[in-house]
Amino acid sequence: MDNAARYTAEYDDKKESDFLRDLTLDAMSRCGASRAQLIEVAKKLLNVDHRDYTDKEVEEAVDKWMIRAEILGDTEGKKSIRAEVEKWIESNKSNNRNNPYQGRNKLMLRDCYIDLGLKTIDEKASCRMAFKRMCEKGLLEKDPQNAGSYRTVGNGPEKLDFINADTTPFPVRFPLGVHELVETYEKSLVVIAGEPNSGKTAYCLNTAWKNRELHPKFFSCEGGAAELKIRLQKFGKPLGEWAKQIDFYGKSDDYTKNINPDGLNIIDYLEVSKDFYEIGGMLTDIYDALNKGVAVVAIQKPVGRLTGVGGERTLDKARLYLAIEPGILRIVKGKLWRQDHINPNGLWVKWSLGGGANFKIMPDENGGEDWRRPIK
């Protein structure tokens, strides 16, 4: 090869390398890569191409790519996906504070995909990079318990207006007189941890019937409409009365969007087939979605343990936590005592289920029908 041909080949290789490097860094900048990331990649590509450079030259080139991405976005004449995503994040941050159906300050990637119509791999990658950029700025943080979930940060804690706070108890009643020992106020989570076939569903249905004037929402998560009908018939009440005063639903994929934030909600039960540690976070999300309402949530409990699957994390947000097993109900946690001189924590009672539906306290060996202290 003569010198002219060699020069031409080297020139073409250099031109192709420059083109590919520009293409790579331009795509990264459009997807929301940070300035530091672009500088690092640019230097590595220049080293691979055996090109001489100064730090200033690289920084100026990177700034050029970032400015172009800001102006042109993914295609000329359109705003960048990153700008659209950041606008969506800002809008939904505000909405979450005022929309009790959403987990407070909780943002989901999948919701952003749907709302912005992002369908291709590149579009979704740009969206993820935008979320990452917001994390780098300290405006978002990943939710370690849920993939694709983020929470806003840097807003500071909400100031509590205790002077004007409403201290009227939420008028919910529970089977076996639990409400006579523990008060329930607005925005409260009640957890019922029960062993399999221990009476969880019967307790939840009794709670719904006792509070039917509140028009509760009841989520029945096992069995279908036929099984529910059979269970309700055991109460001896007209099925029309149940249907008129209680709204029954099947299992939900996201209870935070379906519960009544200002009313009574009963979930029988919160089902997780694996990764039981997630239940604590799921209960927190349900609590966060409440405004003035109450959520009564049943969960599975291993035999011989006081807390449900998910362990002690399931205790975190509960203002009232009950453990039910065949014939025994315990108050594991009651934060607000109904009577100052009676600590409800640890109390237990024996019960029977008349006709498979109606709870009744069983007398102790002395004939007393009351709650008892655990034997020490």
Q: Is residue 373 part of a domain?
A: no
Q: Are residues 21 and 105 in the same domain?
A: no
CB atoms within 10 A of CB 166: 8
Q: Is residue 46 part of a domain?
A: yes
Region of poorest pLDDT, from 13-27, 165-179, 348-362: 13-27
Which of 180 and 41 is assigned the larger pLDDT? Answer: 180
CATH of the domain at 294: 3.40.50.300
Which of 135 and 49 is assigned the larger pLDDT? Answer: 135
Q: Are residues 10 and 97 in the same domain?
A: no
- 365: DSSP letter: T
Pairing of strands 188-194, 318-325: parallel
Q: Is residue 251 part of a domain?
A: yes
Q: Is residue 375 part of a domain?
A: no
Angstrom CA distances, 259 to 97, 218, 249, 291, 300, stand at: 16, 9, 10, 11, 20
Q: Is the pLDDT of residue 278 over 70?
A: yes
Range 285-309 average pLDDT: 92
Q: Is the pLDDT of residue 73 over 50?
A: no
Q: Are residues 272 and 345 in the same domain?
A: yes
Element (H, E) at 153: none
Strands of the chain (E only): list them: 106-108, 140-142, 149-152, 188-194, 217-220, 247-249, 264-268, 294-300, 318-325, 328-334, 348-354, 358-361
Show which of 72, 95, 122 is a domain's final residue: 72
The vertex-307 CA angle with 303 and 311, nearest 5°, equals: 110
Indicate the number of domains in the chain: 3
Q: Are residues 199 and 261 in the same domain?
A: yes
Q: Is the pLDDT of residue 37 over 90?
A: no
Residue 154, C-beta contacts closer than 8 angstroms, at least 6 positions apart? 138, 139
Q: Is residue 10 part of a domain?
A: yes
Element (H, E) at 42: helix 35-48
Q: Name the maximum alpha-carbon separation found in the chain.
A: 112
Q: Are residues 240 and 304 in the same domain?
A: yes
Q: Is residue 194 part of a domain?
A: yes
Measured CA to CA, the distance from residue 97 to residue 175 in angstroms comes to: 34
Which of 159 and 198 is assigned the larger pLDDT? Answer: 198
Backbone φ, ψ for residue 371 (5° rounding): -75, 150
Q: Are residues 127 and 202 in the same domain?
A: no
Measured CA to CA, the distance from residue 62 to residue 83 in angstroms comes to: 19
Q: Is the pLDDT of residue 7 over 90?
A: no
Q: Are residues 190 and 320 in the same domain?
A: yes
CB atoms within 10 A of CB 375: 5
CATH of the domain at 96: 1.10.10
Q: Is residue 170 part of a domain?
A: no
Q: Are residues 225 and 313 in the same domain?
A: yes
Q: Is the pLDDT of residue 21 over 80?
A: no
**Contact call for residues 329 and 322 (beta carbons, < 8 A):** yes
Residue 365, C-beta contacts closer than 8 angstroms, at least 6 positions apart? none
Question: Partners of 295 in the beta sheet?
Answer: 189, 265
Residue 177, C-beta contacts closer than 8 angstroms, at least 6 positions apart? 361, 371
Q: What is the pLDDT of residue 75?
A: 39
Residue 270, C-beta contacts closer than 8 angstroms, at least 6 positions apart? 221, 255, 279, 282, 283, 297, 298, 299
- 11: DSSP letter: H
Which of 104 and 369 is assigned the larger pLDDT? Answer: 369
Q: Is residue 184 part of a domain?
A: yes
Q: Are residues 179 and 309 in the same domain?
A: yes
Which of 292 and 273 is assigned the larger pLDDT? Answer: 292
Show which of 29, 45, 72 is a domain's final residue: 72
pLDDT in tens, 85-143: 888 887 776 544 333 334 446 788 988 998 888 888 878 888 888 888 888 888 888 88
Q: Are residues 314 and 225 in the same domain?
A: yes
pLDDT in tens, 145-187: 778 888 877 656 677 888 888 888 999 999 999 999 999 999 9
Backbone φ, ψ for residue 325 (5° rounding): -140, 170
Q: Are residues 312 and 345 in the same domain?
A: yes
Residue 202 burial (CB < 10 Å; 0-12/13-18/19+)?
Answer: buried
Q: Is the pLDDT of residue 347 over 50?
A: yes
Q: Which domain holds residue 209?
A: 175-361
Q: Are residues 266 and 121 in the same domain?
A: no
Question: Partners of 322 in the beta sheet?
Answer: 192, 331
